[in-house]
Structure 1
Amino acid sequence: MGTASFLKEEHMIFRKAVRSFLEKEIKPHYEKWEKDGLIPRDIWYKLGGEGLLCPWLPEEYGGMGADFGYSFVLIEELERIGSSLVGVPLHNDVVVPYLWHYGNEEQKGRWLPKCATGEAVTAVAMTEPGTGSDLQAIKTTAILDGDSYVLNGSKTFISNGLHGDLFVVVCKTDPRAEPARAGISLLVVDGNSEGFIKGKKLDKVGLRSQDTLELTFEDVRVPKENLLGEAGKGFYYLMEQLQQERLIVAIAAVTAAEVTLDSTLTYVKERKAFGKPVGSFQHNQFTLVELATKGEIGRTFLHSLVERHMRGEDVVKEVSMAKWWLTDLAKETVSTCVQLHGGYGYMEEYEVARRSRDIPVSAIYAGTNEIMKTIIAKKMGL
C-alpha cells in the first residue's frame, strides 16, 4: 500500500488516536450491532467527544480546522472495521458540507456546533421510490405559505434516517419550472417536525447495522429560514458537492478491497489442500498478484486525486473514473476472495462473507457506475 504524500506527521498521530478509539469502542461490538441490525445512537456522542465528527469545521463551530487528510484517515479507519459505519463519513464529509457551504451565518451558528458534538446527526434526502439517478424527476414539493414551506412527498434509501435529526431534503419549490432542475431547492428539516414520518428500517442485503429508512412528509411546515442557499439552486449545489462524495466512496472501496485481500492472504498461507497451502498453487498466486497490482495502481491514482481535491481542483472526471473503477475492483476482490476461501467463504465466521454482502452497493450509491461513465463520456466531449 503506497504512502500518501499529503499525509504528514500530524495525520499519522491522528490515525493512531482514531484506531485506538475504534479498537476500544466499536470493533468489539460491531458484530453484535450487525446481528441486531443497528449501531447505537450513543456512538455518535462518543465520536463527537473524541473530535471525530467534522474535524474540518473551524474551532468556533466545534471542529479543529483540519484539512481533508484527516477525513481521509478517518474514512479508511472506519472502513477497516466495517462498511456499516458509512453513516459517519456521510455526516462528516457529505451532508454537513452543504450546511457549511450554503448556510448563512445564523444557520451555521444554529446547526454546526451540534453536528460536531453528535447532538445532531445529519442525512441527505434525495432518492425517491420512483426516482433514482434522474434527480430532476423528483416529486417531493415544498410550497411557500406565509412564513413557512409546506413539504409533501416521500424519500427512500435514506442513510442515517433513523438516528437523523437534521435532513437536507431535495424538493421542488417551483414544480412548474422549466427546465425542471431550476425548480429544485434544498430545505433543512428537523426530524421531529409534525407530519415527518420515519418508516421502518429497510431490510438490506448488506450494511445491516447501518440505518436506512423510507421517509414520508405529510404537510410538514418548515420555516422559510431553513431554506439552504437560494431557491431554485438546489440542483447546482448538489452537483458542486458530488466530487467529494464520490471520492469518499472510492477511498472506502479501495480500503475494503485491501482489508479483504490481506485477510485472504493470511488464509491461503494457512489453509491446506492436497498437502500444500492453498496459496502455493500457481493459479491462486497469479490471481492474488493481479488483485494486489490493481489495488496498488488504484490507490496511487486515488492519492493523486485526493491531493488535487485538497488543492481545490475540479477533478470530477477523474473522481468519476476512480469511483466506478475502484468499486468494481472491490467487488472483483471480494468475489475472488470468497472463492479462494472455498466453503468457508460462505460462512459468517469469516469476515469475507460480510464484505461480499456489503461491497456491491458501493457501485450503486452516490451515483451508479453507469452514471459515472456517462459523466466521463461528457467530459471527454462524447
Structure 2
Amino acid sequence: MDFTFSDEQLAFRDALRSLVDREIRPVANEWEHSGRYPTEIVAAMREMGLFGITTPEEYGGLDLDKVSFTLVFEEIARGWMGIAGILGSHNLSCWIIAHHGTDEQKEQWLPRLATGECRTGIGLTEPGAGTDLQGIRTTATRDGDDYIVRGTKTWITNARHADVLPVLVKTDPTTSPAHHGMSLLLIDTASDGFEVSRDLGKLGYKGTESCELFFDDVRVPRSALLGGVEGRGMQQALSGLEIGRLNIAGRSVGIAQASYDAALKYAKEREAFGRPIADFQAIQLKLADIATQTQAARLMTYWAAAKADSGERIDGEAGMAKYFASETAITASLESMRVHGGYGYSTEFDVERYYRDAPLMSIGEGTNDIMRTVIAKALVGGSLSIG
C-alpha cells in the first residue's frame, strides 16, 4: 500500500496551491460578499489548462488521472469552493461528451471546451425533479430533422457563461420505465427560445451562478442528440456522476482542510487568560477531532480515486467518499467556527464562508441519504466489499 502522491502529482499540487494563493485567496472574501464574478480567476484557470482536465489529449485536454482530477477540486476548494464549481460542471460535461458523443460532436466541441474558449455545464435538475430524474418534464418532440424542446431547468451552474449545455429531456414521454425515453441533447445556448431567466439566491456556493432556464420551443438539430441514439440519456448522465462524486469529495476535503488550517492558526494566535487558547484542552480536543476526521476523509477520497484509475466501477467507493467527506466538511467548518468564538461569525473571517459552503456538499451529486442507498446496494450486490 502506498499512501503518497507521485512526484508528478506533488508538482501538480504545488502548481495548484500557487494558483490558489496568488489568484484566489486574496480576493475570495471580498468578491464573494460583493457578488462579483471571478473573471480574472477563470482566465488564470484557463491558462493552466484546468478546463480540459477530463478531455482526451487528442482534443487538446489534459485527460488527468482521477487522483490528479480530485486534487484539483481539493486545492481550489481550499481557497474558495464556489470557484471549484465552475470547473466541476464544465469538466463533468466534457467527460460525458468525450465518453458518449459521436465523433462529430467531439470534434465540434471538445477542442474549444478543453481550452476554456467555450464553456459548458449540465442541465439535469428541474423544479419538480432533483433526485428523481425520471420525473423530469422537459420534452423534445421530433419535427423533421429537428427536435422542439419545451421545459424548465433549475440550479444550473455556469448557465450564463455556457456556450453548449447537455440537457436531459424526454424524447418519448410515454415509455415505461421512464428512463428508456430520456435523452441528452447538446443545446447551443445561442438558440432562439433558450432563456436564462434568473440567478437563484444561495446561502453559499457563490462565485458561480446557479440559474433557472426556460426552453420555449427551442429548435435543436437531430445531430445534437448525444451519441446519436435516443433513450440513453439517463445512463449517459449517471455514468458521469461517479467522477462527479470524486469532485464533491475532493471539494469537501478542501473545505475541511481550510477549516482546520483556520482553527489551528487562530488557536495559536488568540490569547485568553494570558495564554494562547491552543494551550487549553477543550480547544486541543476540537483540533484533534477536525484533523483526524479530515485526514480520514482525504484517505477515503483518494482511495476511491485510485480505484477509479484502475478502470473498475466505483459507485460504492465514490459514494462512501462523497458521503463521509461531505459530512466531515460540515462538522469541521462548525467546529472551526466554535474555535474562533464570536469572530467565527464575522464576515471578516474566512471560516463563516466555509460554514455556508459546506452543506451543499451533502446535497450535490446526490444527497447523502441517496449515497447511503448506493453504498448499501453495492455491498449487497457484491461490487463493494469491506475487510
| TM-score tier (shorter) | over 0.9
Task: Give the corresponding residue for 2:327.
Answer: 328
Between stretches 108-117 and 51-60, larger displacement belongs to 51-60
Aligned to 1:364: 363
Letter in 2 for 1:9: D
* One-letter amino acid of the counterpart of residue 320, structure 1: G
1:80 to 75, 78, 83: 78
Aligned-pair CA distance for 1:308: 0.3
Letter in 1 for 2:333: V
Cα distance change, pair 312–137 in 1 and its aligned pair in 2 (3 A): same
TM-superposed CA distance for 1:283, in Å, is 2.1
* Cα distance in 2 for residues equivalent to 1:289 and 1:97: 38
- How far apart, in 1, do the equivalents of 2:43 and 2:269 lie? 41
Which position in structure 1 is the counterpart of 2:277? 278
Match of 2:180 in 1: 182
Question: Larger deviation: 329-338 or 15-24?
Answer: 15-24
Please state how far the C-alpha of 1:207 moved relative to its aligned partner. 1.6
Q: Which amino acid aligns with 1:268?
A: A
Partner residue in 1 for 2:385: none
TM, length-normalised to structure 1: 0.94
1:291 CA displacement:
2.1
Judge conservation of contact 1:38–1:208 (CA < 8 Å) in 2. Answer: no
Q: Is the 8 A contact 2:24 2:80 kept in 1?
A: no
Q: How far, CA to CA, are the matches of 2:329 and 2:287 in structure 1?
A: 13
Q: Does 325-334 or 88-97 show the bigger shift? A: 88-97
Q: What corresponds to 2:341 in structure 1?
A: 342
In structure 1, the partner of 2:25 is 27
Q: Aligned partners of 1:380, 1:73: CA distance in 2, in Å?
A: 27
Q: Which moved more, 1:87-96 or 1:104-113?
A: 87-96
Moved more, 257-266 or 64-73: 64-73
Contact 2:67 2:302 in 1 (8 A): no
SS class of match (1:28): coil
1:240 and 2:239 aligned: yes
CA distance in 1, matches of 2:26, 2:338: 27
Tell me the distance in 1 between the aligned counterparts of 2:337 and 2:143. Answer: 56
Three-state SS of the structure 1 residue aligned to 2:150 is strand
Partner of 2:262: 263
Superposed, 1:129-144 pairs within 5 Å as: 129-144=127-142
The aligned residue for residue 164 of structure 2 is 166
What residue number does 1:376 align with?
375
Counting only pairs closer than 5 Å after superposition, residues 1-382 of structure 1 correspond to structure 2 as: 4-5=3-4, 7-41=5-39, 43-229=41-227, 230-381=229-380
What amino acid does structure 2 have at the position aligned with 1:118? G
Taking a change above 3 Å as real, the CA distance of residues 337 and 17 of structure 1, as seen in their structure-2 partners, is closer
Q: Deviations over 1:308-364 (max 9, x none)?
A: 011111121121122111111110111111111111000011110111111111101
1: CA distance between counterparts of 2:43 and 2:339? 40
**Aligned CA distance change for structure 1 residues 33 and 165 (closer, same or farther; 3 Å):** farther
State the SS of the aligned residue for 2:118. coil
Residue 41 of structure 1, CA deviation = 4.4
Q: Cα distance 1:58–1:221, how it changes in 2: closer, same or farther (>3 A)?
A: same
* Distance change (3 Å), C-alpha of 1:247 and 1:65: closer
Aligned 8 A contact 2:73 2:247 in 1:
yes
1:129 CA drift (Å): 0.6
- TM-score, length-normalised on structure 2? 0.93
Detail structure 1 runs of 4+ shifted over 6 Å in the superposition. Answer: none
C-alpha distance in 1, partners of 2:307/2:32?
Answer: 36
Q: Quote how far apart the aligned CAs of 1:226 are.
A: 0.4
Shift in Å, 1:113: 0.9
Deviation at 1:17, TM superposition (A): 2.8
| Distance of aligned partners of 1:206 and 1:368 in 2 relative to their CA distance in 1, 3 Å threshold | same
Any gaps of 5 or more consecutive residues in structure 2?
382-387
State the Cα distance separating 1:56 from its structure 2 match: 4.3
Distance 1:310 1:339 in 2: 38
User: How large is the Cα RMSD of the aligned pairs?
Assistant: 1.9
Q: State the distance in 1 between where 2:221 and 2:3 align.
A: 45
Aligned 8 A contact 1:254 1:299 in 2: yes
How many angstroms apart in 2 are the aligned matches of 1:179 and 1:168? 22
Deviating more after overlay: 368-377 vs 289-298: 289-298
Percent identity between the two aligned chains: 39
Is the Cα contact below 8 Å between 1:142 and 1:173 reproduced in 2?
yes
* C-alpha contact (below 8 Å) 2:252/2:358 kept by paired residues: yes
